[in-house]
Amino acid sequence: MRDKRLHRTLVYTVINALKDIFNEGEYADKVVSRALKSDKRFGSRDRKFVAETIYEMVRWKRLYNEIAGTKNHYTTENLWKNFAVYAVLKGYDIPDWKQLQDVPARKIKGKFDELSKIRVFRESIPDWLDEMGEKELKEDWDPEIHALNQQAKVILRVNTLKTTNERLQKLLQEEGIETVSIKGYPDALELVERKNVFMTDIFKKGFFEVQDASSQLVAQFLDVKPGMRVVDTCAGAGGKTLHLASLMENKGNIIALDIYESKLKQLKIRAKRDGAHNIDIRPITSTKVIKKLKEKADRVLIDAPCSGIGVLKRNPDSKWKLQPEFIENIKKTQAEILDKYSQIVKTGGKMVYATCSVLPSENEEQVAKFLENHPDFKLVDENKVSAHKSGYDGFYMALLEKQS
């Protein structure tokens, strides 16, 4: 049974972390990482409480604000009021601390029941996002945003260059980490219970990567074969690039491009750890990099920049950082990227356009516009992965073929 007592040091750590996220605009994942290192005495249960409480309070920020009446002002006193709401709703025993005196538990529960009837509070989202989601997804928006508010599961991708699913499961079990395989996701293992897998020797040896199940569908969708020339145009730190390398059995050539050299440096480190030797890393420093590749690739992956609405499970703070103007601008960027990078595909070659968004305006509508302007391409297949149907991140992918 879960311990219902609150521990002062842990709660102070949470409050200080929330100040950095809400008042300084820092990213939740960076703040959580720092908070977990702040006290060497933290055990695994302490770390779990700190990480989960910070993420939950970020996720339900608007709801807790409304219940506590703190009006989006994050003074220390108000953060304690918000924390009191969290503690009551999660069923913790309220300790006799000066910051938590006279917590109105009944009032909190009553207000929660009342606000649960209104979607923007129930799902704790900005008004504009609710309006946009409903306009684009109609009746699917309600179950989708609800699913995107659940805590993300931890999914591993087996690095088949070094091991098999069965062997990795056994090795993890020896470390006290239980996993289950997922039907329809050949390289995925799901953790039964959240654990810090990055500290294991098997991770350091490159036997697996942490990658959501939906994200693992993208590289497979590109239909790569060993020996091909593949270009990953927005490779970033290379989660999908590394998956492509294992699907290609290290044969052929993957050119990993990105405008951010710092991300490609991370890919270089990961590729070495994973034993992926067929990746050629090239930062996009000028238009020449793309021109040199014109009509040279058998396969092209465009993992396009997007709103990231499909990955709110793991980035709950992006609900509060996102703005409608950003989404409008990113759509223009997506169209430009599609136009520019499609030139790399050779006749008879294929390209995947993918996003971690669930909005049709970033997905199928972008592809439809592209096809109108590029009659030499045809749509072969598309996969719309919704969070409420899959239980994983929301994703979109379209497979396009260049015809003569």
Residue 1, Cβ neighbours under 10 Å: how many? 3
Q: Determine phi and psi for 223, rounding to 5 degrees.
A: 60, 50
| Distance between CA atoms of residues 32 and 51, nearest Å | 6
Q: State the sign of the Cα–Cα–Cα–Cα dihedral 391, 53, 60, 307.
A: negative
Q: Catalytic residues, which ones?
A: 356
Distance, CA of 240 to chain centre: 13
- Surface-to-core class of residue 108, CB atoms within 10 Å of its CB (0-12 exposed, 13-18 middle, 19+ buried): buried
Work out the widest C-alpha separation in the chain, in whole angstroms: 75
Contact 387, 148 (CB under 8 A): yes
Contact 264, 256 (CB under 8 A): yes
| Distance between CA atoms of residues 258 and 209, nearest Å | 20
- Tell me the β-bridge partners of 227: none
Closest CA to 401 of 352, 343, 337, 338: 352
| Distance between CA atoms of residues 143 and 53, nearest Å | 24
* Token pair of 75 as six digits: 């003074």
Residue entry with tokens 């990227």: 337
| Distance between CA atoms of residues 290 and 282, nearest Å | 10
DSSP string, 76-138: HHHHHHHHHHHHHHTTPPPP--GGGTT--HHHHHHHHHHHTTSHHHHTT--HHHHHHHHHHHG
Q: Extract the runs of DSSP E, i.e. beta strands, from 266-328.
A: 279-283, 297-303
Angular region, 221: left φ>0, alpha ψ -120 to 50, beta rest: alpha
Instruction: Say which DSSP state 259 is in.
Output: S
